[in-house]
Amino acid sequence: MIWVVAGFIVGLFIPYTARRFAKFMPATFAGAVVEIFRPGRKTRAYRRTALYKSFVWHSVLCALLTAGMTWAAQEHFGTFGFGFTAAYLWVVVLLAEIDYRTYFLPDILTVPLLILGFAAASMDMGWVSVAESAAGAVAGYFLPVLASLLIVWHKKDAFGGGDIKMLAALGAWLGTEGLLYVIALAAASGIVYALCRRQKAIAFGPMIALAGIVVAFWLF
């Protein structure tokens, strides 16, 4: 129950954190913490606007979804090493929200996510072995780079640097096999989303995040 409550609180602040990242995009983790907890100035007039009310409802919905996902994860994966599992889920959701708003995946979140995945594997609290974690991280970096080289003449920005680092981070958690499933699922969902929205360019981070969560539940 404690993890579910924690998931609700984290989810409640995910849209706010993503919004703050969109405004200042911190270069360091310390700078991010300072800016996130810096009190904002909201006038009474703004609090009455439809935009503000929409943001509040979005935060509540995100909190409910994160709490539900945390509960499902605890039921599925068990309580052993669940701190690592919760961190994986929460950071992935936060990255999805930030990329959706900014089309940017910050290194101060993707790099720690990779390190945390390798640490979980090292302490035997992750889903894969240390060797699989390392191989997955390497594959997550080089496979998109190779794919980009093959299609660079058609579309130079097929993969952003943030997308590659996020895939490397997920590879550290899911291993090479899990990473391949993530890439396939993310690509398929991205194509469907782009066709439905009739957009040529989309934020790929949310697709990677969704695939990373689905594959984790399905594969482990």
Kindly list the distances between the CA atom of residue 125 and the CA atoms of 38, 89, 104, 215, in Å, as whole numbers in the listed order.
Answer: 34, 15, 30, 18
Judge if pTM exceeds 0.75. Answer: yes
Structure tokens at 69: 């996902």
The mean pLDDT of the chain is: 84
Write out pLDDT tens, residues 194-209.
788 777 667 888 999 9
Give CA angle at 115 (14, 118), nearest 5°: 120
Across residues 5-29, what is the average pLDDT?
81
Q: State the alpha helices, DSSP H only, in 78-129.
A: 82-102, 107-122
Write out pLDDT tens, residues 31-86.
566 555 665 555 455 455 666 667 788 899 999 999 999 999 999 999 898 999 99
Output the pLDDT for position 67.
Answer: 96
Give dist(CA 142, CA 183) in Å, integer: 12
Output the pLDDT for position 77.
Answer: 94
